[in-house]
């Protein structure tokens, strides 16, 4: 529970701040959104006004459900409107960045440049693109950012409604793949605490329900699995199909359930001129170390990389070359 030991950084950042903005990574998932919603409850307890910045045009199903059900309960703004909400006194503005520490992954780089005072709360390892001019509370041992925010909610004894507790629990369940990855005693305790606040396991499953068409499309990736040294699973998508980053991540999670597989890599087209890799590990392979060598990042158990103006075939060759070097 490193965040409790480092809570002074949060208190220091909040001191004197009038306008507080919460921003996570692009392609929001339930851990990113859940941690934003959770810390907004803490800020409300401290009588602080805050705004959640979301630029994504499309959302995964769970995020869409939460945003729809919380409409009017949280204040969501677009980065294009940031100037309307900034305090004229620069030191009165605070940007809290959640569930990422990389400048190239945040919802808006413009917001990064417009707000000087920043605080990062995240569970991913730092890397080359980690935001430099910011205070950081990073706990790589935490399963999720939602777990970290839950620790703060308990410490500050914030009374939150059961639905908010459910959103936080869904972020933990998502990032641990139903408690099969990166799970510690602290993870189970945070889940227990959220349950004591009324979090509903049934509602979590509702938020995590998948679209049948999207699921079917992801299953196509499982038809081209290649194994390397019996422990590495690698699959790639057709160049004619575009996936969301979270789709590649879900397939990478699935590959770890196969016998003897300890690490997985999924390559696919995620934009008009973008190729993505999503990677997962049970712990014997350091994903952050591997992904960092090809311009990506992550933590010990999960990570990703994005390539501009490349092809799936070229990315596959580069990854295989790196994996061969790692194995030598």
DSSP labels, 183-247? --HHHHHHHHHHHHTT--HHHHHHHT---HHHHHHHHGGGGG-EEETTTEEEEE--TT-B--HHH
Half-sphere exposure for 215 (CA within 13 Å, toward CB) = 6
Cβ-Cβ contacts under 8 Å for 71 (sequence gap 6 or more): none
Give the CA count within 13 Å in the CB-facing half-sphere of 51: 23
Q: Is 298 in contact with 279 (CB distance < 8 Å)?
A: yes
Nearest to 38 by CA among 140, 190, 206: 190
Positive or negative: CA dihedral 51, 197, 176, 156: positive
- 80: buried, middle or exposed (CB in 10 Å: 19+, 13-18, 0-12)? exposed
Which residues are CB-contacts of 209 (< 8 A; sequence separation ≥ 6)? Answer: 61, 62
Domains identified in the chain and CATH numbers: 2-207 (3.90.1640.10), 213-327 (3.10.310.30)
> Tens-digit pLDDT profile for the chain (328 aa)?
789 999 999 999 999 999 999 999 998 999 999 999 999 999 999 999 999 999 999 898 999 999 999 999 999 999 999 999 999 999 999 999 999 999 988 999 999 999 999 999 999 888 778 999 999 999 999 999 999 999 999 999 999 999 999 999 999 999 998 998 889 999 999 999 999 999 999 999 999 987 788 778 888 888 889 999 999 999 999 888 888 888 898 899 999 999 999 999 999 999 888 999 999 998 888 998 899 888 888 778 888 888 988 999 999 999 999 998 876 5
**Which residue is listed with tokens 């000087």?**
116
The long-range contacts involving 89-94, CB below 8 angstroms and separated by at least 24 positions, are 89/18, 90/116, 90/117, 91/16, 91/116, 91/117, 92/16, 92/17, 92/18, 92/19, 93/17, 93/18, 93/19, 93/20, 93/21, 93/117, 94/13, 94/14, 94/17, 94/19, 94/20, 94/21, 94/118, 94/119
For 29-46, how does the pLDDT look when each residue is reduced to its tens digit (9 = 90+)?
A: 999 999 999 999 999 999
Q: C-alpha dihedral over 259, 232, 129, 29, to 10 degrees?
A: -30
Report CA torsion sign: 131, 132, 137, 140. positive
**Burial per residue of 27-65, b for 16 or more beta-carbon CB atoms within 10 angstroms, e otherwise:** bbbbbbbbbbbbbbbbbeeeeeebbbbbbeeebbebbeb
């Amino acid at each position: 529970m490193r965040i409790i030991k480092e809570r002074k950084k949060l208190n220091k950042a909040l001191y004197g701040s009038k306008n507080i903005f919460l921003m996570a990574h692009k392609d929001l998932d339930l851990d990113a959104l859940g941690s934003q919603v959770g810390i907004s409850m803490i800020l409300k307890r401290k009588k602080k006004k805050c705004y959640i910045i979301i630029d994504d045009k499309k959302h995964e199903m769970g995020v869409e459900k939460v945003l729809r059900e919380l409409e009017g309960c949280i204040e969501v703004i677009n980065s294009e409107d940031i100037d309307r909400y900034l305090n004229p006194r620069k030191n009165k503005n605070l940007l809290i960045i959640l569930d990422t520490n990389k400048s190239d992954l945040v919802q808006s780089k413009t917001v990064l440049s417009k707000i000087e005072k920043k605080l990062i709360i995240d569970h991913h390892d730092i890397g080359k693109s980690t935001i430099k001019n910011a205070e950081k509370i990073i706990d790589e041992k935490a399963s999720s950012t939602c777990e970290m925010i839950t620790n703060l909610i308990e410490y500050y004894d914030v009374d939150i409604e059961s639905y908010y507790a459910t959103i936080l629990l869904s972020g933990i369940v998502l990032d641990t793949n139903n408690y099969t990855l990166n799970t510690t005693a602290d993870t189970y305790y945070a889940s227990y605490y959220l349950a004591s606040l009324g979090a509903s396991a049934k509602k979590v499953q509702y938020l995590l329900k998948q679209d049948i068409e999207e699921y079917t499309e992801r299953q196509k990736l499982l038809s081209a699995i290649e194994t390397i040294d019996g422990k590495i699973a690698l699959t790639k998508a057709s160049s004619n199909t575009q996936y969301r980053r979270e789709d590649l991540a879900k397939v990478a999670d699935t590959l770890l359930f196969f016998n003897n597989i300890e690490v997985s890599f999924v390559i696919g087209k995620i934009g008009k001129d973008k190729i993505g890799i999503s990677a997962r590990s049970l712990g014997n392979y350091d994903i952050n170390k591997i992904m960092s060598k090809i311009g990506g990042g992550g933590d010990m158990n999960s990570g990703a990389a994005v390539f501009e103006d490349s092809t799936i075939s070229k990315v596959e060759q580069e990854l295989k070359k790196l994996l061969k070097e790692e194995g030598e």
